[in-house]
Amino acid sequence: MRRKLAAGNWKMNGLGAALEELRTLATTPVPDNTDILICPPATLLSRAAEVAGHVAIGGQDCHANATGAHTGDLSAEMLRDAGATSVILGHSERRADHDEHDEDVRAKARAAWEAGLTAVICVGESLQEREADNTLDIIGGQLAGSIPDAATGENLVVAYEPIWAIGTGKVPTTAQIGDVHDFIRARLERRFGPGVGRSVRLLYGGSVKPSNAAEIFAVPNVDGALVGGASLKASDFSGIIDALS
Ligand code: PEP
């Protein structure tokens, strides 16, 4: 049975004082069979890892190379060294702000695996693509292009994040979420075989809040959430974690 996962993406938010939220989460009981992951900005990784307790810590991006002349970048091994066990890759904000494409995400995922990190690979369509009825084609292309061949249930998590739902308060219907998650599951099973395909966790992301989490988590093939805004406060994120039980 797949473990549930509540993952928080703090994005470019959080100074040292934000670690109080993590300290609170670290002392909050977690439902059985559930993992919690917080991805703070890189400046907080080491300090976060020290106070996180049962909460796992992740990065928000990594470079595809292990070392070298890449000013401002961080390698997967550096994230690992700072206490991370996972890294978010291919978030739509990285794809848009840094012109990242599927092949970049794939190379980064290989680097993450090389360093022993789990890659949380994000896929998702724009509003225009949804309205043109191209959602599944887009998602299929992103899955094929972004995920390297050596995927397992331990080294890969896939997050379905419709771009138009991120930070907007707009959420797809549960039927729309279910359709995409079933599609992703089928694609993973076809490519990696039923064993691996059924063991990879699938997260939904986009305006998840305590008030809508239970409805979303009831959708088959939704194993948890990747949460932006509502992961910044322990009280909000705890409400989402509770909805997983
Ligand atoms: C995200 O950025 O991954 C995200 C899902 O953001 P929000 O929850 O704020 O929509």
Torsion angle (degrees, nearest 10) of CA 57, 58, 60, 66? 130
Query: Which one-letter DSSP state was computed for residue 147?
Result: S
Whether residue 1 has pLDDT greater than 90: no
- Residue 199, burial from CB neighbour count under 10 angstroms (0-12, 13-18, 19+): middle
Length, in residues, of the chain: 245
Q: Is 91 a catalytic residue?
A: yes
Q: Establish whether this prediction's ipTM goes over 0.85.
A: yes
Which member of 91, 93, 100, 129 is catalytic?
91
- The per-residue pLDDT for range 191-234, each reduced to its tens digit, is 999 999 999 999 999 999 999 999 999 999 999 999 999 999 99
Count how many Cα atoms sit within 13 Å of the Cα of residue 89 in the half-sphere of its side chain.
37
- Provide, rounded to the nearest whole percent, the portion of the chain with pLDDT above 90: 100
For residues 135 and 129, is the Cβ–Cβ distance under 8 A?
Answer: yes
Query: Which numbered atom of ligand 1 lies nearest the CA of 208?
Result: 8
**CA–CA dist 171, 183 (Å, integer):** 18
| Alpha-helical runs (H) found in the chain | 19-26, 45-51, 76-81, 92-97, 102-114, 127-131, 135-146, 174-199, 210-217, 234-242
Number of CB atoms found within 10 A of residue 105's CB: 26
Query: What spacing in Å lies between the alpha carbon of 179 and ligand 1's midpoint?
Result: 20
Q: State yes or no: 9 annotated in a binding site.
A: yes
Q: In the chain, where are the structural domains located?
A: 4-242
Any ligand 1 atom below 6 A from CB of 161: yes
Residue 164 has pLDDT above 90, yes or no: yes
CATH superfamily of the 4-242 domain: Aldolase class I (3.20.20.70)
State pLDDT tens for residues 22-72. 999 999 999 999 999 999 999 999 999 999 999 999 999 999 999 999 999
Task: Name the amino acid, one letter, at 16.
Answer: G
Q: How far is the CA of 229 from the centre of ligand 1 (A)?
A: 6
The model's pTM: 0.98
What whole-number distance in Å separates Cα of residue 125 and Cα of residue 173? Answer: 15
Helix (H) / strand (E) containing 118: strand 118-123
pLDDT at position 80 is 98
Instruction: For residue 165, report the distance from its CA to the centre of ligand 1, in Å.
Output: 8
The angle subtended at Cα 152 by Cα 28 and Cα 148, nearest 5°, is 115
Q: How far apart are alpha carbons 31 and 29 in whole angstroms? A: 7
Closest ligand 1 atom to 227 CA: 8
Q: Does 228 sit in the ligand 1 pocket, CB within 6 Å? A: yes
How high is the pLDDT of residue 149?
97
How confident is the model over 130-142, as a mean pLDDT?
98
pLDDT computed for residue 51 by the predictor: 98
Q: State pLDDT tens for residues 75-108.
A: 999 999 999 999 999 999 999 999 999 999 999 9
